[in-house]
Amino acid sequence: MSADSQAADLLALATEIAADAAAVVAKYAAERTYVVETKSTPTDLVTEADRETEALIVRRILGARPGDGLLGEEGANRDSASGIRWVIDPIDGTTNFVYGIPAYSVSIGVEREGRVIAGVVHDVALGQAYTAALGGGAHVNGRAIQTSGKTDLSTALMGIGFAYDPARRDAQAHFYDRVMIDIRDVRRMGSAALDLCRVACGQLDGYFEFQLNPWDIAAGGLIVREAGGLTTGFHGHTFEEGYVLAATAALAAPLQAVLDRNPVP
């Protein structure tokens, strides 16, 4: 496949910025001297590392492309004058980061006129950069990746996630409980961006969660699609609205049917 030339250029910049951002996160992880605070709920953590990393990413983007727009988890929000918008999660998996669990990433997606055309998810602890540009396939550290090709839903391994809000978490727990009978098993690893990358490289056969944010899924969703998988929504909502279903091409439709017949409380 041949990538869209603008997408390839934007991916190169995003990959370079993500690597520098990952170095900042890794430094904080090694020193463990940061202040931990909370945001929307007592379980929704944020650290100095999140904020410093987002600030670095924003400076680098605007230094190279001053007309571009921004949407970041930690508050970056800027209209685009160029048709390009960067969707940023400086640390996806902050709770894992705080607890020293090696499953957190820097995620940067790039949209053109609302469509994601480039994305990088940099797994900080493992030093793996998952990348994709529209039409150029998906890679990890330059090596091409693809989804598992699983076709049987009953033997599929799925990723799931939970919200920080207690009421939403309770709804998710009941929903997942009803879906479990139709699949092999689930894994909950605490980083939506990395879970999407695990679908892309075949470590998971699919992933589903609802009420996620754009910065959780922008880069990872493109990486799944460029690895041969499908992303879609469920219960009348789209993937982009945060009702996230990502899976091998053969599993997307049957998984969507299972999710749609089990109502979200």
Residues with catalytic annotation?
73, 89, 91-92, 94, 216
Q: Residue 53: which of 107, 12, 102 has the closest Cα?
A: 107
Tokens 């609802």 sit on residue: 210
Neighbours of 229 (CB within 10 A): 28
C-beta of residue 88 within 8 angstroms of C-beta of residue 72: yes
Residue environment code for 109-118, b if the CB has 16+ CB neighbours within 10 A, otherwise e: bbbbeeebbb
Give the relative orientation of helices 192-200 and 214-226 as an angle to the nearest 10 degrees: 10
> Is the separation of the CB atoms in 96 and 191 below 8 Å?
yes
